[in-house]
């Protein structure tokens, strides 16, 4: 579904992505892990067009999107969430999710029905009229996921959706991702917490200093000595 071909990106003299190549399969949950500063979020920014790449190509479902405007990439079917909160804090849950539906020229009735269906799926129906700024962290993450789902995406990019939560909240997010996987959504996620990432992934890429140092099934990654060494050197919990 998504091909990253020989992508490189620098900021000033700092090389963040170095000749990176990887492929995301349709209907799977793929994950991108690596130490802080490895280039994970930069890759998502390159895919979605918010940051221009220096070299290489990004191809989505056979269409080159390398220098395509962000809104056109969204219209093709790529949606994302953000590591840092990116919501309309003064609007309600319903209004935030509704914003995602305006990608498509459908009736207001069908948009409302779609939002209600998404809120029901995410367990947010009883909070539909709550102002987002007053929500706890888990619900904010779910609202952002709901807005991404409202764009009718073919591919969802999740930047640290699993992370910074209590164990019970992480469990809730894992269950949502597993349900989306069962529904054949294609998901590409970034994460630091290994247990939930390994639990929810079909395939894992490991990034270090802008390069892929390993990829494979969660079991392959667990057994990879280089991955262990990189995480231990970075002070991570592996």
Q: Is the pLDDT at 129 greater than 90, yes or no? A: yes
The DSSP-derived string for 123-170 is T-GGGTTSBGGGS-HHHHHHHHHHHHHTT--SEEEEESSSSSS-HHHH
pLDDT of residue 192: 82
Q: Torsion-angle region of residue 200: left (phi > 0), alpha (psi -120 to 50) or beta?
A: alpha
Average per-residue pLDDT in the chain? 93
Over the stretch 48-79, which tens digit does the pLDDT of each residue have?
Answer: 999 999 999 999 999 999 999 999 999 999 99
Residue ranges in 166-210 assigned as alpha helix (H) = 167-182, 194-200
The answer on pLDDT for 36 being more than 90 is no
> In the chain, what percentage of residues exceed pLDDT 70?
97
Encoded tokens for 73? 């990439």
Q: Let me know: does 205 contact 21? Beta carbons within 8 Å.
A: no
Average pLDDT of 203-207? 96
pLDDT at 230 over 80: no
How is the chain split into domains, by residue range? 87-152
The structure's pTM equals 0.93
pLDDT at 236 over 60: no
How distant, in Å, are the alpha carbons of 168, 201, 238 from that of 60?
Answer: 35, 21, 32
pLDDT band at 234 (very low <50, low <70, confident <90, very high): low
Q: Among the ranges 58-67, 79-88, 155-164, which has the highest mean pLDDT value?
A: 58-67
């Amino acid at each position: 579904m998504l091909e990253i071909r020989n992508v490189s990106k620098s900021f000033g003299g700092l090389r963040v992505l170095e000749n990176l190549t990887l492929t995301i399969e349709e209907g799977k949950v793929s994950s991108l892990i690596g130490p802080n500063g490895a280039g994970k979020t930069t890759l998502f920014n390159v895919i979605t067009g918010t940051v221009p790449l220096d070299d290489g190509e990004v191809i989505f479902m056979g269409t080159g999107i390398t220098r395509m405007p962000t809104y056109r990439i969204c219209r093709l079917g790529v949606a994302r969430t953000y590591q840092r909160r990116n919501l309309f804090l003064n609007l309600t849950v319903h209004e935030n999710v509704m914003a995602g539906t305006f990608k498509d020229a459908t009736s207001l009735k069908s948009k409302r029905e779609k939002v209600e269906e998404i809120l029901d799926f995410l367990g947010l129906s009883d909070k539909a009229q709550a102002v987002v700024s007053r929500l706890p962290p888990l619900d904010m993450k779910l609202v952002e996921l709901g807005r991404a789902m409202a764009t009718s995406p073919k591919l969802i990019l999740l930047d640290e959706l699993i992370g910074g939560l209590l164990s019970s909240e992480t469990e809730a997010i894992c269950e949502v991702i597993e349900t989306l996987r069962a529904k054949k959504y294609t998901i590409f996620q970034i994460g630091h917490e290994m247990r939930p990432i390994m639990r929810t992934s079909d395939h894992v890429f490991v990034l270090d200093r802008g390069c892929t140092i390993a990829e494979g099934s969660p079991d392959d990654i667990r057994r990879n000595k280089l991955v262990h060494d990189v995480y231990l050197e970075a002070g991570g919990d592996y």
